[in-house]
Structure 1
Amino acid sequence: MKIAQWLVKLGDPLLPYGRHVPFALQRRLIELAAARLFAAPLAEGAFDLLQGRWLRLQVSDLGLAWCLSCEGTRLRVAQRAAVDVSIRGKWRDFVLLASRQEDPDTLFFRRRLVIEGDTDLGLGVKNLLDALDPDQLPPRAWRLMQAMGEAVR
């Protein structure tokens, strides 16, 4: 998929500007995308481990971070929260994780992704993401993510 290669190529110079996007817009985009991408898993309770708990995802090379929690069947995003666990890594490693181009245990073992805080919750989130069925995702989104993972590799 040529668009995926193009997106990855432009990622390094353009993605760092994401930190200048107002957080309210970032939150809105992430919450809308999560509602669409994870509609079935959210409805099935797959994200219940985040009910009343907060996860911080930090993309270290972009200077971006979001705090995520689950309320009912919705993922919520905050700029700051008293987080229970934090997962930190570079954007390319998160793409490899999301596209399943790299084994999550390998990314964590090699410290390319780092879990801090409640490691049981962090491992639960890692296992949740690993267990998500790509067939429940919108097909075009999954194909694009796979192609981006291949391009990153």
Structure 2
Amino acid sequence: MLKRKKWLLYGADRVLPLVRRVPFVVQRLALQQALNRCLAEPLRDGEFDLLRGRWLCLRIPDLGLCWYLSRSRDGLQIAERAEADVTISGNWREFLLLASRQEDPDTLFFRRRLVIEGDTELGLTLKNLIDSLDPDVLPAWLWRNLERAGKGLAAG
């Protein structure tokens, strides 16, 4: 089983950087639809309203990816470029550990594996918001796979 996990991580390291070759319009469409569907309840409850008129830059340097997110009346919107109020950056493995709850967010930030730049108050509020989201807001199949991938990564 350990060999399989290592093989999957090796494959992910090779395949994920190819996402940067996908035209941005396709990335935006896929991400906006996925985020707005998966986060429909927190969006409806106003939990992401702190991003109205503000931009969060998510940067994943090892993949060469960068997206700007803001809250519009239709949900989260993604742009290729914007004036970021806050930037959260880190390698894909750190974001996977965060999303799958395999590592404490404070540890990831304290050890500078994830970095907040710009409006740190907004960044910390977003970090706490993401950490407080109930995994039940995600489709069960997505949470299961995120958790499985995160556990595989955490196991080394």
Does TM, normalized by the shorter one, top 0.5?
A: yes
> Per the alignment, in what secondary structure is the counterpart of residue 57 of structure 2?
strand
Structure 1: 5+ residue runs without aligned partners? none
What is the TM-score normalised by the length of structure 2?
A: 0.92
Contact 1:54 1:82 in 2 (8 A): yes
| Counterpart AA for 1:12 | D
- Report what 2:131 is aligned to: 130
Distance 2:152 2:27 in 1: 25
Letter aligned with residue 59 of structure 2? Q
Superposition CA RMSD, Å: 1.6
Q: Which deviations, in whole Å up to 9, do the C-alpha atoms of 1:39-85 show, x marking residues without a partner?
A: 11111111111111000000010110000001125000000001100
The separation in 1 between residues aligned to 2:147 and 2:39, in whole angstroms, is 16
Aligned to 2:82: 81
Unaligned runs of 5+ residues in structure 2 are none
Counterparts of 1:11 and 1:144, CA distance in 2? 14
The alignment-based identity, stated in percent, is 56
Q: Which residue of 2 aligns with 1:34?
A: 35
* Contact persistence 1:43–1:73 (CA under 8 A): no
Equivalent-residue separation in structure 2 for 1:60 and 1:136 (angstroms): 28
Confirm or deny: 8 A CA contact 1:42 1:73 kept in the other structure. no
Partner residue of 1:90?
91
Quick check: 1:55–1:87 contact (8 Å CA) kept in 2?
yes
Which shifted more, 132-141 or 106-115?
132-141
